[in-house]
Amino acid sequence: MNVTAYTRNGSQQIELGYESFTFSGGEEHIRFTSEAMDIEKICITARLVNSASIIQLFMAVDALKRRFGARTIFELVCPYFPYARQDRVCVEGEAHGAAVMASMINSFNFDKVTIWDAHSDVSPALINNVVNLAQGPIIEKHSELAQALRNKTLTLIAPDAGASKKTQNVAKYFGGGIEVIQAEKVRDVKTGEITHTDIYGSVTGKDLLIVDDICDGGRTFIELAKVLKQKECSSISLFITHGIFSKGLDVFNDLIDNIYTTNSVTDFENQNETSSTNINTKRNTNVFIAKI
């Protein structure tokens, strides 16, 4: 979590230092150590990837408001909005996770909340004063990838119906005229397993970029890449805004040539803070990380 303060006359931008630890009972503690000053705005950037980080954020906001008072503008940047995939109640007795998380964030009355590439339209609709950064500006963080899209040297692949609108929007963002091919995964209704993937268009000899918001275990992209290779494409790249990669990165070996993502979920072994870091180590897939 990074906390940046802006002085009231706009002359200074200050990183606010803090100490934090977890009590033996599991409670999170945070204390800000910076000297008191005349602050106009505080911006908190947080990766909310587990319960501890969420509670730590709420403790930080309370501590900052007590220290700097009601006149201060508070903004939150949480690129990965937790519980975004729990955006509906599918079975009676479940919680609406996205609504619960949005309610908690709303209770702190942030003047602005910025999230990146929300999983669906549900989360932005639930959060007060929200800005949902679309995929186009996020892809810009990978300058070579963005330039390839502007040069129309890549064909975009929407991996399923849910990603179709986002993929079309990426094509429009980079000037239009980019070919977009729709894919569709077919599942066994009893087991939920992907039985096969249909591709609606020719990919032979083309350099492809699959675009989606979240990669967890990666099964959708693995099965899609197998089919694309069978159809003799030239190369396969994958852009994912939020890379969870719960099965690791090696599962993409010999299937996907390049993966472009951000560190919104994981710090990727605390790589140096650069705009785009290649963490290719002993694997056949190049992985490029844009830092938040």
Domain ranges of the chain: 2-134, 136-290
Contacts of 109 (CB under 8 A, 6+ apart): 74, 128
Write out pLDDT tens, residues 30-80: 999 887 778 899 999 999 999 999 999 999 999 999 988 777 899 999 999
pTM value?
0.89
Write out pLDDT tens, residues 167-214: 999 999 999 999 999 998 887 767 767 778 899 999 999 999 999 999
Q: How confident is the model at residue 272 (pLDDT cuts 50, 70, 90)?
A: very low
Helices 97-106/51-68 angle, 10° precision: 20
- For 2-134, the fitting CATH number among 1.20.960.40, 1.20.120.1200, 3.40.50.2020, 3.10.20.30 is 3.40.50.2020
Instruction: Say what the pLDDT of residue 195 is.
Output: 78
- Residue 8 pLDDT > 90: no
Tell me the two tokens of residue 166.
Answer: 């986002």
Of residues 74, 71, 73, the one with CA closest to residue 57: 74
CA distances (Å), 15 to each of 6, 42, 44, in order?
9, 10, 10
Write out pLDDT tens, residues 88-138: 998 999 999 999 999 999 999 999 999 999 999 999 999 999 999 999 999
Fold of 136-290: Rossmann fold (3.40.50)
Place of tokens 């490029």: 288
Write out pLDDT tens, residues 72-81: 899 999 999 9
Q: Would the CATH topology of 2-134 be identical to that of 136-290?
A: yes
